[in-house]
Amino acid sequence: MQVTKPKYLTMTPPKRSPCPISCTLDLIGDRWTLLIIRDMMFFGKQRFEEFLESPEGISTNILANRLRLLEELGLAEKQLYSNHSRRMNYQLTEQGKSLRPVLKVVTLWGLKHIDDTQIPRSHPTDADRSTESFEATEP
């Protein structure tokens, strides 16, 4: 598979309809994508192995697939951590960060309507890099 340039949201997947809900679900309407975005946004995760550590237990092939899709959608960017390592660095773009209100309202709904849910505690090492709080109200 030969991917040249990241595509943008304007040109990506086939729409089922022009409805904004339907179109949004075409992008992030699955059980994993928002969790990866959560990990980047609230826990400052940036590397493949870090995403694998999340308690939901994503598998490596799904993770690789979703990271590629996020890049193609322009929601995340991939960079080399340093020039002498294979280590990669995934970060949210502005587009990706714009999903914050979505994650927030989903979080609040879950906390209120599903029993035994709680905001995960991040590891100290994760918290160091986390730029945004899970609870914070405003962008």
Partner DNA sequence: AGATATAGCTTGTATAATGCAAGTAACTAA
Partner DNA sequence: TTAGTTACTTGCATTATACAAGCTATATCT
Contacting positions for a copy of itself (CB under 8 A): 9-10, 15-27, 29-31, 34-35, 38, 54-57, 95, 98-99, 101-120
Residues 74-113 close enough to bind DNA by CB under 7 A: 78, 81, 84-89
Q: Tell me the C-alpha distance between 135 and 120, whole Å.
A: 11
Q: Tell me the C-alpha distance between 26 and 16, whole Å.
A: 8
Q: At what angle do helices 100-113 and 33-43 cross, to 10 degrees?
A: 100
Min dist. Cβ of residue 99 to DNA (A): 18
Among 28, 36, 58, 70, binds DNA (CB under 7 A): 58
Stretch that binds DNA, among 20-28, 50-58, 116-124, 131-139 (CB under 7 A): 50-58
Q: Tell me the C-alpha distance between 3 and 97, whole Å.
A: 24
Min dist. Cβ of residue 68 to a copy of itself (A): 19
The interface partner of residue 103, options being DNA, a copy of itself, none and the CB cut-off 5 to 8 Å by kind, is: a copy of itself
Residues 20-49 close enough to bind DNA by CB under 7 A: 30-32, 47-49
The interface partner of residue 98, options being DNA, a copy of itself, none and the CB cut-off 5 to 8 Å by kind, is: a copy of itself
Q: What is the DSSP string of 6-46?
A: ---GGGSSPPS-S-HHHHHHHHH-SSSHHHHHHHHHHH---
What value does the CA radius of gyration of the chain take, rounded to a whole number of Å? 15
Q: Tell me the C-alpha distance between 7 and 53, whole Å.
A: 29
Size of the site for DNA (CB under 7 A): 24
Residues near DNA (CB under 7 A): 30-32, 47-50, 57-62, 64-65, 67, 78, 81, 84-89
